[in-house]
Structure 1
Amino acid sequence: VTDKGNNFYIGSAVEFEQKATKFFSDTNAFIELSSNPFNEILDKVIQLLNTLRGKDLIRKWQYEQMIPDRTTCELAHLYFNPKTHKDGIPVRPIESTIHASTTKISKFLDKILRPIFDDKCKETTIIDDNVFAYGSKIYKQTTGGAMGSSFTLTLGNIFMSEWQQKLVEEQTKTGELYGRYIDDVFMTWNRSEEELRKLLDDANTWHSNIKLDYKINKSLPFLDVLLTNNNGTLTTSVYHKPAAEPYITPFTSDHPRHVFVNIIKISLERTTRYSSTFEEFNNERRDVKLMLLYNGYPLTFIENEFKKYFFDYKSTSPFLQYIDKEKNYIDMRQTLLGQPTFRQSQVALSAA
């Protein structure tokens, strides 16, 4: 299964290995090591935590949450996922750090810092000793953080929050929109395209490791939302990557019933949240139904789950199977948008 889109990818092993080799050479963020430093790193981590605990700088429970287990620790290993939604199908590196020496520390720090960052940032990082195995070779990452490590995302957000200050200030001065999710940025602009390109080109000089690949248009995707400027009115709809295929967990798979129910519920919730017009909602709802049928979901099961979902938001009639009027849809969408997403609920719980 591929990086995004749940496509099933079959390719040449030799070609795939060539792409992995190209990734190493293009990024220039890794060096090959002549020996395995695993034991040295493990000893350093344990010694550091013992020192902190000995000086009473961390509590016993904190020490126990971060100390690695020598019997289960192992060197992290790297693998690649094909990005079939990109031209040429490049590869994305994923580092498996489940049993690495610093994993418990990474999770502990992420748990503490992420809620603080999410709360304070509504509006250059090198991690030492990030060593992993790929094939029969051992590498050390010299720039950035491991994709797969809990703490990397939080560090990346902190870095990008600092990097983006000039852009945010520029947008705030002119009353424009600016939003970012990790390394994806969306912003509006009402001045000339020449001025915008100059600003973005300048932004590409702010840090040697940050290069913007930008697109300017009246209709652009941001993550899985398509945003369109219709003569000054911003509309949204669900965005499907060109390479995306309609594959989900098949109904014939050996999963509990609630898994299939949740797939339908999440699909309809995404449809409602992202579709700003009744027309887009109906188009996407039809596509969701076709996708479910394609993956073996019985029509009666689909219809019943659709009915339950819509009935939660529109209870005037127990027989209402569809949201069939624009006003009903707008009312339902406003109700849904007023509720926190699962992610927002998780952040609130973490910060409590």
Structure 2
Amino acid sequence: MVAYLEVRYPAHQTDGDRSLTTRVNPIDHQFRISDLQEEINNSQENGNQDSHHINDSTGRTVEFIDLLHEKGPEDDIASLDVESLFTNVPVEETISIILDCVYRSDKNPLPISEDVLRDMLKASTTETPFLSHWGKLFRQVDGVAMQSPLEVLFANMYLATIEERTFREHKKPEIYGRYIDDIFVAIEETDDARKLADALKRNLVLNFTTEHSQQKTLSFLDVLVKQQEGQFKTTVYTKTTHAGRFLNARRECPEAYKKSVVSAYVNRAFTHITSWRDIHTELGRIRQLLTNIGYADQIIKTAIKQKMDEFYQSNTTTKKEENLIIYHRLHYGSAYKEDCCTLRGIVNRGVKPKSPLPQNN
């Protein structure tokens, strides 16, 4: 689903105020949030080469693990968590930060005026109506609503600015990685985590909770980080309350969705774990979980074999080849199987793969 910023201007106004119930004209301006996020990321990268923000993408954990292996362990590790970040982000200040980043950086500005973007951001945050369970309409005048497409953008922009101000006066840890409101740091002394939290709080109105490693072990995102033999060891982290519930194989949905569930769990084992013994243990756990909810053992074996083949090929191939990626939007409905068959036929007739895939794919 693509998220959009929309500005709707009412057909009439009452006493100079914008009405929540009046009819509206067609959308005057529409801009994809992903385009705005891309522009901001480019501006941040150009302005700060020493970036410490873990990107909001499917590869965020891999990026974090690469950071650990690049830097190596310090004396201790800890994590900080920002309390109630999204609903406490100062909207007006963050909008000003976004506008400065977009229109006053070295990159070319967006193809819309600054005033229009300001109005769109305000309309999507401070003027968004909410219907209560007793039928009344309310507006959230500050903070960003949970599940809003803008919540991550606003939170990242605000915290990135706070970090920049803080590290002008406070020494930045050797390892500092943040994913939205979760922060991982390598520290020299136990009290350093509290000092860093206090330094950050002096520049904003939010509170932090801190967690220190236990026996040189700490969980962050879906990774369990261990300090062993002068280096970081990582494996998959699952909460004790995890019940192994995800897409059931007996559900009526495209087969591609079910295969993607298996592939996602298998891929995570290979990307998150540094020890082959731990990979073997994790694959056994995954196999049992998937079997419990109806996944065929052959599908699981195929996914594991394909990942193993990819791993060995990536370590033996010297010449890097570019893959051609073709995107096609499928609308889920009663005829999705026919759509998949039609698309597969087009690919089979018009594309000749260099390395043919197994027949069961």
Q: TM-score, normalised by structure 2?
A: 0.55
Q: Which has the higher helix share?
A: 1
The alpha-carbon deviation at position 305 of structure 1 amounts to: 3.0
Aligned equivalents of 2:296, 2:32: Cα separation in 1: 46
Residue identity in the other structure for 1:177: I
CA deviation profile, 1:242-284 (whole Å, cap 9, x unmatched) = 2111112122111222222111111111111110221221121
**1:151-166 → structure 2 map (5 Å cutoff):** 151-166=150-165
Identify if the C-alpha distance between structure 1 residues 287 and 167 changes in structure 2 by more than 3 Å, giving closer, same or farther: farther
Identify if the C-alpha distance between structure 1 residues 140 and 301 changes in structure 2 by more than 3 Å, giving closer, same or farther: same
Runs of 4+ in 1 over 6 A off after TM superposition: 42-45
Q: Which residue of 1 aligns with 2:64?
A: none
**Is the Cα contact below 8 Å between 1:125 and 1:159 reproduced in 2?**
no
**Is the Cα contact below 8 Å between 1:271 and 1:281 reproduced in 2?**
yes
Residue identity in the other structure for 1:198: K
Q: Which residue of 2 aligns with 1:202?
A: 199
Aligned equivalents of 1:167, 1:187: Cα separation in 2: 15
Among 216, 222, 231, the alignment partner of 2:212 is: 216
Identify if the C-alpha distance between structure 1 residues 171 and 289 changes in structure 2 by more than 3 Å, giving closer, same or farther: farther
Among 34, 48, 72, the alignment partner of 1:111 is: 34
Higher RCO by CA contacts (8 Å cutoff, separation 6 or greater) = 2
- SS of equivalent to 1:314: helix
Identify if the C-alpha distance between structure 1 residues 231 and 205 changes in structure 2 by more than 3 Å, giving closer, same or farther: farther
The alpha-carbon deviation at position 113 of structure 1 amounts to: 1.9
Aligned equivalents of 1:213, 1:168: Cα separation in 2: 19
Aligned equivalents of 1:44, 1:295: Cα separation in 2: 49
The alpha-carbon deviation at position 143 of structure 1 amounts to: 2.5
- SS of equivalent to 2:131: strand
Q: Which residue of 2 aligns with 1:92?
A: none
Identify if the C-alpha distance between structure 1 residues 162 and 271 changes in structure 2 by more than 3 Å, giving closer, same or farther: same
For structure 1, which runs of at least 5 residues remain unmatched after alignment? 1-37, 51-62, 67-107, 316-329, 343-352
Identify if the C-alpha distance between structure 1 residues 195 and 263 changes in structure 2 by more than 3 Å, giving closer, same or farther: closer
Q: Which residue of 1 aligns with 2:285?
A: 287
Q: Which residue of 2 aligns with 1:40?
A: 19
**Is the Cα contact below 8 Å between 2:223 and 2:272 reproduced in 1?**
yes
- SS of equivalent to 1:161: helix
**1:118-129 → structure 2 map (5 Å cutoff):** 118-122=41-45, 123=51, 124-126=90-92, 127-129=125-127
- SS of equivalent to 1:40: coil
**1:89-238 → structure 2 map (5 Å cutoff):** 108=31, 110-122=33-45, 123=51, 124-126=90-92, 127-136=125-134, 137-166=136-165, 168=167, 176-189=174-187, 191-208=188-205, 210-217=206-213, 218-238=216-236
**Is the Cα contact below 8 Å between 1:171 and 1:178 reproduced in 2?**
no
Residue identity in the other structure for 2:228: N
- SS of equivalent to 1:146: coil
Identity %: 21
**Is the Cα contact below 8 Å between 2:129 and 2:138 reproduced in 1?**
yes
For structure 2, which runs of at least 5 residues remain unmatched after alignment? 1-16, 46-50, 52-89, 93-124, 326-361
Aligned equivalents of 2:207, 2:292: Cα separation in 1: 40
Aligned equivalents of 1:121, 1:279: Cα separation in 2: 40
CA deviation profile, 1:22-67 (whole Å, cap 9, x unmatched) = xxxxxxxxxxxxxxxx9714769859x75xxxxxxxxxxxx3xx2x
| Corresponding pairs, count | 227
Superposition CA RMSD, Å = 3.3
